[in-house]
Structure 1
């Protein structure tokens, strides 16, 4: 499942900006609206817990992948504004329900001391799938002249076939504990919720406007975008497992502080960059830093009750998408007059994340979710008065 999801989604994502500009004459306002609509199913991800009343998590994961594949296959048939909005929402329903269940199952099935390394290996597998997708785009469109429609149909069709094979070949795996089938929102998880919120807000600016800048400002072709994405995923393929081991070694707090410091610098760089090569370099660094974000998930795994994981996965996806539903549409309008300001907003979100990450304990666990003195300052007490 970790392979097939990016295989489908990477084709949709790599072609999107060129497709909407060339075939539907999108500006920043329309692409912002499309991306906001894409995030609505993510905002509603908490409803997955109600679906799990009647469907097992593994079954929901496979059904969601199938819906996503169908949405991608249909995209090329609707090269106009309303049609693209509709196929994007269909694709997004499958994508977000799968990601919710995928996170839940990963955290449930893995021992805590193995999860960071395993998630790193998952990123490596996803990177290999994305590389396959981007290489296919480059060969089939640049060399053989295949159309957007054919590429979308090939990606969606291949994904649907693989999902059917997964359904037939694998048994229903047993759960270690019975998961809550109702909404779980706990006060002691507040730091995880806050990190998730700012992660969603910041990631939208990267996904929507960083890639759009490459096409609109620097004139990147489909081949150029595919090559840039290929470089990103080669780095992930090579280094993601090592990043997982590094996170386990240094701890969630240090890893996330390193990531967010780097992102403040990267987003500030986006605001001023005038070189297409430098913009591409910033994009690659941004993508590599994103691999460290698995530390947010491992932090939650350490502080959570096991039976809370499925419900909290849905809640966290909703929190992740609160800002994501609004930000692309609002900043899409801002983009028309000040693209640089959009990236300064991203730098601000990264700075907020850095401050929050300082609250993570060195060894988080149930009952030790938040550090008492995040900046390591000495507790200052009033000097005793005369006679005390």
Structure 2
């Protein structure tokens, strides 16, 4: 503990402010992750088909990230961080106190979602700013570990409030989340701005052929991610009767494991390369799909739910891959933003299709479809050059000239 405190005191003050801001922003996300599905079910009694279609407006801000990034291209990413925190604070407070109807809930959900999605770019770009060369994966893993630690606090708050707040559960939990985001905005505002990540010469959008595999990985991840964000918890809640306390406990377990797992994932990415990490992710996803499709053993389903949450760490590998192939640092924010946009272009349509599949053929059909995405992800991973090919051997020296 004393070594940790000594390292903390010796760290760059800007990095300390950033980590604390990420910690509190993660508390907000942890509360929403643990409570949102139960909030929808208890407050609005949505059907599985309605829950699927709700993902279209929830993911719309993710689709618009590239355009928001374009508008903010001349603004330091530090300022983006402040804005994202204030947006999530306003959105989650609105869900708590200003959502008496379904349509008003949609408005505040959009506000929260806008801040949450824009922060994806902020976290990656600013995280790389504080990383040493060759240690980008490790640094991003550390930041993800902090996010998971924060999610424990958020899910833990929901877990405690579920036992004590009664009908005030969601108002109390969302107010706690809003307060955490407000403090994170203050911390982000203390970080000095950097001009490195501004768009040069007014260039607001970056789309290049050299980033094609990064784009494809984001498309596949968007489809896979949304199936499990939407339908895995929905299966647990509606098919197996998981209570708010159980869902909060699972979120806490995933976050606790992620504190260590994501740091190890980042370090392993630095060591063996992104390609192998993508291959491993695809194979694990196949196993998760098989479990949800064929098993009704709740402990196994709970384990697979946690494992799938852990494998979202592949975003670290996607970010380090882009950082390795990027032409300039100024390409990072707009390219990550475009990746988020195409990820969410898929995310907005997949849940609706999944809801229709569920309604027509049952929930298992959704996970059969997800297994096809795992196969596509495996093929994409095999096509990627991870930059670790052995250097070509030097050409042989010419044979000596023999006298006649």
Check conservation: 1:200, 1:321, Cα contact below 8 A.
yes
CA distance in 1, matches of 2:242, 2:275: 37
Check conservation: 2:76, 2:195, Cα contact below 8 A.
no
Q: Which residue of 2 aligns with 1:61?
A: 81
1:106-129 per-residue CA deviation (whole Å, 9 max, x = no partner) reads: 335534411100111111101110
CA distance in 1, matches of 2:188, 2:206: 31
Within a 5 Å distance, the mapping from 1:41-190 to structure 2 comes to 41-77=61-97, 78-145=99-166, 146-167=168-189, 170-176=190-196, 178-180=198-200, 181-190=203-212
Check conservation: 2:73, 2:198, Cα contact below 8 A.
no
Match for residue 230 of structure 2 among 189, 208, 223: 208
Q: Which runs of 5+ in 2 are unaligned?
A: 1-20, 391-404
Match for residue 18 of structure 1 among 28, 35, 38: 38
Secondary structure of the residue that 2:111 maps to in structure 1?
A: helix
State the Cα distance separating 1:351 from its structure 2 match: 1.1
CA distance in 2, matches of 1:37, 1:177: 29
Check conservation: 2:24, 2:184, Cα contact below 8 A.
yes
CA distance in 2, matches of 1:113, 1:158: 33
Q: Which residue of 1 aligns with 2:334?
A: 311
Q: Which residue of 1 aligns with 2:280?
A: 258
Within a 5 Å distance, the mapping from 1:318-357 to structure 2 comes to 318-337=341-360, 338-357=362-381
1:287-323 per-residue CA deviation (whole Å, 9 max, x = no partner) reads: 2222244111111110111221121121111111111
CA distance in 2, matches of 1:30, 1:154: 28
State the Cα distance separating 1:177 from its structure 2 match: 6.1
Q: Which residue of 1 aligns with 2:296?
A: 274
Q: Which residue of 2 aligns with 1:35?
A: 55
State the Cα distance separating 1:14 from its structure 2 match: 1.2
Shift of the 293–308 alpha-carbon distance from structure 1 to 2, 3 Å rule, reads closer
Once the two structures are overlaid, the 10-residue window that deviates more, 81-90 or 207-216, is 81-90
State the Cα distance separating 1:155 from its structure 2 match: 1.3
CA distance in 1, matches of 2:218, 2:160: 37
CA RMSD of aligned residues (A): 1.9
Once the two structures are overlaid, the 10-residue window that deviates more, 38-47 or 74-83, is 74-83
CA distance in 2, matches of 1:335, 1:158: 37
Once the two structures are overlaid, the 10-residue window that deviates more, 253-262 or 233-242, is 233-242
Check conservation: 1:43, 1:318, Cα contact below 8 A.
yes
Q: Which has the higher helix share?
A: 2
How many residues align? The count is: 364
Shift of the 79–238 alpha-carbon distance from structure 1 to 2, 3 Å rule, reads farther
CA distance in 2, matches of 1:259, 1:310: 25
State the Cα distance separating 1:53 from its structure 2 match: 4.3
1:241-298 per-residue CA deviation (whole Å, 9 max, x = no partner) reads: 1221111111111111011111011112211221221210111221222224411111
CA distance in 2, matches of 1:253, 1:275: 33
Q: Is 1:283 aligned with 2:305? A: yes
Q: Which residue of 1 aligns with 2:4?
A: none
CA distance in 2, matches of 1:177, 1:70: 27
Check conservation: 1:120, 1:244, Cα contact below 8 A.
yes
CA distance in 1, matches of 2:150, 2:215: 30
Secondary structure of the residue that 2:68 maps to in structure 1?
A: helix
CA distance in 1, matches of 2:364, 2:160: 34
1:174-225 per-residue CA deviation (whole Å, 9 max, x = no partner) reads: 2346534321111111111101110111100110100111100110111000
Check conservation: 1:256, 1:293, Cα contact below 8 A.
no
1:18-49 per-residue CA deviation (whole Å, 9 max, x = no partner) reads: 11111111111221122221111100111133
Within a 5 Å distance, the mapping from 1:286-297 to structure 2 comes to 286-297=308-319
Runs (4 or more) in structure 1 with deviation over 4 Å come to none
State the Cα distance separating 1:55 from its structure 2 match: 2.8
Shift of the 245–48 alpha-carbon distance from structure 1 to 2, 3 Å rule, reads same
CA distance in 2, matches of 1:282, 1:89: 29
Check conservation: 2:92, 2:174, Cα contact below 8 A.
yes
